[in-house]
Amino acid sequence: MTTPGQPLDSVAAAASRGQGGSSTEGERTSNVREPRSADPTPASADPGATYRLVVVPGDGIGPEVIAGGRRVLEAAGRLFGFGFEWQKVLIGGVAIDAYGMPLRDEDMAACAAADAVYFGAIGDPRYDDPKAKVRPEQALLALRKGLGLYANLRPVTVQPVLRGSSPVRESLLEGVDMLIVRELTGGLYFGKPSGQSDGPNGREVVDTLFYTEGEIRRVVKLAFELARGRRKKLTSVDKANVLSSSRLWRTIVEEVKPEYPDITVEHRLVDACAMTLIQRPAVFDVIVTENLFGDILSDEASVLAGSLGMLPSASICERRTAYGLHGLYEPIHGSAPDIAGKDVANPLATILSGAMMLRWSLGQPAAAEAIEKAVADALAGGYRTPDLVAATGEQPGDKKVGTQAMADAVVAALEAGAVSAAGAGTKGAAQ
């Protein structure tokens, strides 16, 4: 349950470190309310809890990677003494096919009422026509706004055994450990007016980059808190030499900075930051930026890890459940329809997103760390999905596997780790 008065920096430390039981189906009603001020304090573990999760397989490879992620979470639940009540919801292209819309009100309500949302991927090339009235991606934007998911957290680390899979020179990857904090419910993706019209000189189009002071301040304060639990360095990214919104962003960062005298703050223009991400990625600790810049920079940073299939994400709001912050957890990759159904997608980003869910929303940090270690152990054991082999070719000791076999390797490593830990505990007690 929630632990009152726990220091805010403890969640930052937990987040910087990372990236099952019974299973039933259930239905609940919405409990959306206006969020209060940010408080990222984590909950403590609740032994024997059954967590109510909405699972969204989505489109393309989403169902495959979610299936692997669920197996890992269920295994963690068995080992750590908690369970899950799963409610499957159709969102995205599959929902357009079933209901004629990408997200129904009742499915939004189910997501709001759950302890957390475990999300695969959405996107379908059948709806890529710019003239299409409904598109799968509309659901994701609606979920972010409707659930108040104001901050997207994307940890970027490089597994030592995968340095050869990155196109970036290996010597530059030493010490890479950053957290990108992206504002998620404002900016160009939500500003109004937005649209195309006919004008006296032909077609015209407008998008609006709109932010309130409160929207900027809450995500900036969260980023400061996260930096406090890590290496105490915050990089704020903007385009203050051109954009009024960025000048306000920079001003608010400077206004908040005196509240955190232990944090070193720097400002970088987005184009300079994009270059430094490749040239000297290890200089970054926590990066905070607005919606569009964060979308682009975090995808760029994925090349450091060797594959989009390696990076998890958490989208969190200010609203608390009984166990932690309400949030939506998904891999950063898309639906990849060209490889859907072929059992070749990398499930590790989805599995690591599940670990983030355990830490942030469900109050199970020990289980989260165990999953993260199991992923590292499976990779150290040579297991590779095709995307991880593609950059370097198959190496001696590599075991090229598909989606489900990779998830099985993580489950096996998780169970082996639990046996090893139990054995070490028994030996220690005997001594």
The burial of 228, by beta-carbon neighbours within 10 Å (0-12 exposed, 13-18 middle, 19 or more buried), is given as buried
Give me the catalytic one of 51, 118, 127, 189: 189
Band the pLDDT of 428: cuts 50, 70, 90. Answer: low
What fold does the segment set 1-157+306-431 form as a domain?
Answer: Isopropylmalate Dehydrogenase (3.40.718)
Q: What is the tens place of the pLDDT at every residue in 232-253?
A: 999 999 999 999 999 999 999 9
Residue written as token pair 């292209």: 93
Residue 164's pLDDT is 87
pLDDT of 11 above 50: no
Q: Is 295 a catalytic residue?
A: yes
User: Pick the residue with more confidence: 276 or 5?
Assistant: 276
User: Pick the residue with more confidence: 41 or 113?
Assistant: 113
Rg for the chain (alpha carbons), in Å? 21
DSSP 2: B
Q: Is 189 a catalytic residue?
A: yes
What is the mean predicted confidence (pLDDT) over 417-425?
70
Percentage above 90 pLDDT, the chain? 79
Band the pLDDT of 314: cuts 50, 70, 90. Answer: very high
Give me the catalytic one of 128, 271, 342, 399: 271
Residue 420's pLDDT is 72
* Cα–Cα distance, 228 to 206 (Å, whole number): 39
When the pLDDT of each residue in the chain is averaged and rounded to a whole number, the result is 89
User: Pick the residue with more confidence: 43 or 319?
Assistant: 319
* Cα–Cα distance, 226 to 287 (Å, whole number): 10
Band the pLDDT of 40: cuts 50, 70, 90. Answer: low
Residue 35's pLDDT is 31
DSSP 334: -
Residue 45's pLDDT is 66
User: Pick the residue with more confidence: 303 or 43?
Assistant: 303
Q: Is 341 left (phi over 0), alpha (psi -120 to 50) or beta?
A: left
Band the pLDDT of 180: cuts 50, 70, 90. Answer: very high
Residue 395's pLDDT is 83
pLDDT of 276 above 50: yes
Residue 418's pLDDT is 83
* Cα–Cα distance, 368 to 353 (Å, whole number): 10
Q: What is the tens place of the pLDDT at every residue in 27-39?
A: 332 322 233 344 5
Residue 43's pLDDT is 58
pLDDT of 92 above 50: yes
Q: What is the tens place of the pLDDT at every residue in 132-169?
A: 889 999 999 999 999 999 999 999 999 999 998 898 99
Band the pLDDT of 262: cuts 50, 70, 90. Answer: very high
- Contacts within 8 Å (CB) and 24+ apart, 132-137: 134/96, 134/100, 134/101, 134/102, 135/102, 136/58, 136/59, 136/92, 136/93, 136/95, 136/96, 136/102, 136/335, 137/102
* Cα–Cα distance, 378 to 13 (Å, whole number): 25
Q: What is the tens place of the pLDDT at every residue in 189-215?
A: 999 999 999 999 999 999 999 999 999
User: Residue 65: which H helix or E strand, with range?
Assistant: helix 62-80
Strand partners, 400: 384
Query: For 46-50, 182-186, 201-205, 348-352, which range has the lowest pLDDT when averaged over its residues?
Result: 46-50
User: Pick the residue with more confidence: 422 or 47?
Assistant: 47
pLDDT of 104 above 60: yes
Band the pLDDT of 15: cuts 50, 70, 90. Answer: very low
Give me the catalytic one of 59, 115, 238, 295: 295
How, if at all, do strands 202-206 and 195-199 pair? Answer: antiparallel
3-state SS assignment for residue 399: strand
How, if at all, do strands 116-121 and 177-183 pair? Answer: unpaired
* Cα–Cα distance, 67 to 374 (Å, whole number): 17
What is the mean predicted confidence (pLDDT) over 283-287?
98
Architecture in CATH for domain 167-194+202-304: 3-Layer(aba) Sandwich (3.40)
DSSP states of 190-254: T-SS-EEEEETTEEEEE------HHHHHHHHHHHHHHHHTTTSEEEEEE-TTT-HHHHHHHHHHH
Q: Is 299 a catalytic residue?
A: yes
Residue 370's pLDDT is 98
Give me the catalytic one of 239, 285, 377, 408: 239
Residue 393's pLDDT is 76
Percentage above 70 pLDDT, the chain? 87
Band the pLDDT of 48: cuts 50, 70, 90. Answer: confident
Domain(s) labelled CATH 3.40.718.10 in the chain stretch across: 1-157+306-431, 167-194+202-304
pLDDT of 374 above 50: yes
